[in-house]
Chain A
């Protein structure tokens, strides 16, 4: 019988399926960090259980970590305590930890792929909603809550209903200055922040196939921002080339065996999806969000939709969002001054993002009114940026290249945007207070962020590319 890619991977991991019950799904890899694990470890202690398969669990510290002077003790007491708890728990339960100071430390969704831990055909979970990132390799990867973290610790399995499947095709060629981030912000703006709820989304089409692995990760990363359980892309030569030779990737005979399996991982031509959507790459402009959920986005040259154009029941919430952002109905964002530019987060902190920004800003200067933070996703990305001389380009432009971590994506560590300030951000969420109490976030691609850094205003990056 023909199957979708999700069904193929799912079915290969079902330990038990019984009518009236969720499936018992086997989890190949469990990624953990300091925020959503302590209560789960505590639960194990209360039940008197060990971690069932500690060698299939990988830990890192990312949410609470400072991004300057990272090797000094963390100043904030509770953050330090949470990171220390992770260290203690990993030691007690026999889990490999890439903590602060380790050359593999970084954002959990950046290090998995770069270390070759993330592989096609795997099931992967983490107590973090952006686990969907790993789907870029053709894996079933999704975020879970702490009770489920405990469940995977205890059993290496999860009780899960088989999700519905959606195919989103993007065909054609992207315009100049338009990137993966714009594709995903465009899709979310079209289907809303709840449009993917209950689905696993497979991205396909010529525009997706043409993307690099880094760009594919950006797309899958934000699947959760439309409510989807996860997103994935069928593995192909781009995937295999990226994985080959990485630290924990299979090698030798194991590689050949793995590769022949990975080549079977695609949706059969006549496989049935519960929903199919199609978009044209040519319709996508550089995107920007104007509101307080990622679905409130538009092409950068468009005007903010009016409150009266929204469904009656949603007008109150819509107006509340615009008030929070300090924006007016029907207005343009072009030329609006910005205070902060943040390039980082599990969405856009990979080496390719940093290279793209560096290439654009080479020989340019940041505007006086902005503070620019570049936060690499991992120690390895940081090292690579230095090896390639990107650090000097950033320094000359007046950008701060900081140390790896989640940084200003979520207001949990020291990197917060002050109240009322505007931050043009490559992160994934523009929720109220996400980057700090009363901070105002505008989500964009790294290139659009770089343009805002240089001009100090919201700018259509395409105009700057034409000049060059």
Chain B
């Protein structure tokens, strides 16, 4: 897994609530058998018309916005457990997703792939949108070590929560399987005792 420590970047604002994984990556694009290439179809039906021409008013088609941080409304990633949603977001060049609320499975999937989901308050989310409406290139400073996110233009700063174990996985670039495999003897003991 890729290591994550700190990111300073502009954002792509997607101010919509309840964005489900069927929007992030529609089911008909889940047929690949590798993890790569899903970025092309990220938000497919919002991004393209039926004849594959880009919809000019969708933010991902607007060259004004090109950061590595996706900012979206409440309850992001609800619906299916498809990890392809996290892969698609990463494959499209994002390293961080910010929302005021994440669906559980999506959050887990993101963390397992080194994509950092950051939950902030509704007010801080609004502050990000305000900053971006004033300056399209407004940047955020995401500091995982100190668990803070700062709007560079205004200096407004928010703390965010992350499980200590998951934080160390991200910073060190290792995953759950490495962790559990080191304790395989305990699993065998557990099975014996059952």
Q: Which A residues are within 8 Å of any B CB, using their own CB? A: 15-16, 20-22, 24, 26, 35-36, 38-39, 42-43, 47, 52, 63-64, 78-79, 81-82, 85, 127-129, 131, 143-148, 150-151, 154-159, 161, 193-194, 197-198, 224, 227, 229, 292-293, 295, 313-314, 316-317, 320, 410-412, 419, 429, 431-434, 437-438
Contacts and interface: CB of A to CB of B under 8 A. Distances in A.
Contact of A193 (B27, B75, B81): B75
Contact of B86 (A64, A145, A410): A145
Contacts of B22: 410, 429, 431-434
B23 A21 contact: no
Interface in B52-99: 73-75, 78-84, 86
B101 A194 contact: yes
9 contacts: A35-B82, A63-B27, A145-B82, A194-B74, A197-B101, A197-B104, A317-B17, A317-B73, A431-B20
Given A79-B31, A156-B187, A161-B163, A146 B83 contact: yes
A194 B103 contact: yes
Question: Taking each of A145, A193, A194, which has the highest tally of chain B beta carbons within 10 Å of its own beta carbon?
Answer: A145
Given A159-B179, A317-B18, A411-B27, A145 B184 contact: no
Nearest to A228: B104
B126 to A, nearest CB: 8
Interface of B: 15-18, 20, 22-23, 26-28, 30-35, 45, 50, 73-75, 78-84, 86, 101, 103-105, 108-109, 112-113, 122, 126, 163-165, 175-177, 179-181, 183-184, 186-187, 190-191
Contacts of B181: 154-155
B187 A15 contact: yes
Given A64-B31, A227-B103, A429-B20, 11 more contacts: A20-B164, A24-B180, A24-B187, A131-B81, A143-B81, A147-B176, A295-B18, A313-B122, A320-B16, A412-B30, A429-B80
B112 A293 contact: no
A197 B16 contact: no
A315 to B, nearest CB: 10
B81 A227 contact: no
A261 to B, nearest CB: 12
Contact of A431 (B79, B86, B176): B79
Nearest to B30: A35
A47 B177 CA distance: 10
B83 A145 contact: yes
Question: Taking each of B23, B28, B179, which has the highest tally of chain A beta carbons within 10 Å of its own beta carbon?
Answer: B28
Contacts of A64: 31
Contacts of B23: 431-433
Given A24-B180, A81-B33, A433-B23, A147 B75 contact: no
A24 B15 contact: no
A159 B165 CA distance: 10
A434 B79 CA distance: 11
Contacts of A197: 75, 101, 103-104
B180 A157 contact: yes
B20 A227 contact: no
A197 B74 CA distance: 12
Given A148-B112, A155-B177, A433-B26, A82 B31 contact: yes
Contacts of A79: 31
Given A15-B190, A154-B177, A419-B50, A42 B34 contact: yes
